[in-house]
Amino acid sequence: MEVDILEEKGKKMKFLLKDSKPQFANALRRTMIGKVPTMAVEEVDFINNTSGLFDEIIAHRIGMIPWSFPEDEYRTREKCECESEEGCPNCTVEMVLKKEREAFVKAKHIKPTDKKVEPENPGILIIKLLDGQELELEAKGVLGTGKEHAKFQAASASYKFLPEIKINGEEVDNIEEVASVAPEKVKDAEGVIEADEDIVYAMNKTVDIEEGDEIEYTEDDNSFIFTVESVSGLEPRYIVKEAVRIIKEEAEELENAL
Ligand SMILES: [Zn+2]
């Protein structure tokens, strides 16, 4: 198995997984989406709400805010030693929000007791308070997984098979780019196809091709181009690594059980 990072920028990462198996690629994709824990607010207690919105709507909006947090300092309640409904500082972050008078209340106004916990996007708008309105609440941030609720989803992740393209028997260099413009009839052709006017029109900006050239498109069933985009407070590279660790842990549990 071999990994090449093709692109890594902000919340997005693209990498090539070579000499693997479709089953593993799929397990990796599903684990990144559903099993990597992220932080979101799970409980909201309203102390005072004289705003124009119901408690439930505000609680829902707060619940959808993604948080960045020190990953190695928190665990899910399920795996926490406290085993309590209340939670403890290893599995739960207490947060408070208090605003009065006319104001745009944003994610950054929620104050977690742990300063290392921060909203991924401080500017997310929760509500606009009018003069004379008040909002005061306490909330609890916990770790959860996308499998439990979409608000905990770590990333959107997908993959495609690595394409291989030959023109007149010669492999092209910028395969990904060329593959992205190759018409369906090239991809569907079994083996070699002769380039016609349509094919040349679609592809000649990315590759040197003329009518009558022989073009062969295949896919490597054991190599995958992954695109991972974080939708949480986690970095994409961390999500990939954590997914691999989880797969390993599950395999070990199975081994031990046997
Ligand atoms: Zn705990």
- Which residue ranges form the domains of the chain, and what is each CATH number? 2-34+156-227 (no CATH), 39-147 (2.170.120.12)
Question: Tens of pLDDT along 144-179?
Answer: 999 999 999 999 999 999 999 999 999 998 888 898
Q: Which residue matches tokens 């016609």?
A: 196
Report the separation in Å between the CA atom of 94 and the middle of ligand 1, taken as the mean of its atom positions: 12
Q: What is the pTM of this model?
A: 0.86
* pLDDT, mean over the chain: 94
Q: Name the pLDDT band for 101 (thresholds 50, 70, 90).
A: confident
What is the pLDDT averaged over residues 219-234? 95
Report the separation in Å between the CA atom of 37 and the middle of ligand 1, taken as the mean of its atom positions: 15
* 129 within 8 A of 38, measured Cβ to Cβ: no
Identify the pLDDT of residue 203: 94
Distance CA(247)–CA(27), nearest Å, equals 8
Report the separation in Å between the CA atom of 144 and the middle of ligand 1, taken as the mean of its atom positions: 13
Q: Tell me the sheet residues that pair with 217.
A: 165
Report the separation in Å between the CA atom of 143 and the middle of ligand 1, taken as the mean of its atom positions: 11
* 135 within 8 A of 183, measured Cβ to Cβ: no
Distance CA(36)–CA(231), nearest Å, equals 12
Structure tokens at 165: 């393209």
What is the pLDDT averaged over residues 179-205? 91
Structure tokens at 14: 């693209």
Of the two residues 189 and 12, the one the predictor is more confident about is 12
Identify the pLDDT of residue 191: 83
Report the separation in Å between the CA atom of 76 and the middle of ligand 1, taken as the mean of its atom positions: 8
Report the separation in Å between the CA atom of 75 and the middle of ligand 1, taken as the mean of its atom positions: 8
Report the separation in Å between the CA atom of 21 and the middle of ligand 1, taken as the mean of its atom positions: 38
Q: Name the pLDDT band for 239 (thresholds 50, 70, 90).
A: very high
Residues within 5 Å of ion ligand 1, judged at the Cβ atom: 80, 82, 87-88, 90-91
Q: Name the pLDDT band for 126 (thresholds 50, 70, 90).
A: very high
